[in-house]
Amino acid sequence: MKLVLTMLPTIALVVYGQLIIKWRVGHLARALPESGEVGGRLWNYLTDPFVVSAYLAALGGSIAWVFVVERYDLSIAFPIYVGLTIALVAISGSLLFGETLTWQRVFSIALILAGVVIGSRV
């Protein structure tokens, strides 16, 4: 449990970044012409303040990660980090964006969380 608490800032910042990018890119894409040039669309995405905040959150998550790997084995910490991040992004995507959570996805998330519980007993 201590491991999960130590990696909570990293997880929160990465999940924030994923959700913000999904939200803003979806919003901005609807406002841009479909036939627009890729470079122009990319420029609109990368200059959006919310997208910039997502990238800054990713940087903050990377910095917070340093303190996780300082204390814990990477072979334990990384799978737990990835598992929790995947589960939180999938559940949040369903709740915030109406993305479909089929029984297979729910079962997969349950398996991931079971692995996190087993793996975090360090």
pLDDT of residue 85: 95
pLDDT of residue 55: 96
Alpha helix (H) ranges present in 47-102? 49-71, 74-97
Residue 47 CB neighbour total at 10 angstroms:
10
Which residue range is the domain that position 98 belongs to? Answer: 2-119
In this prediction the pTM is 0.86
Give the tens place of pLDDT for each residue, 19-49.
999 999 999 888 877 766 888 888 889 999 9
Report the alpha-carbon distance of residue 7 to residue 81 in Å, rounded. Answer: 7
pLDDT of residue 122: 59
Which residues of the chain have a pLDDT value below 50?
none
Domain count across the chain: 1
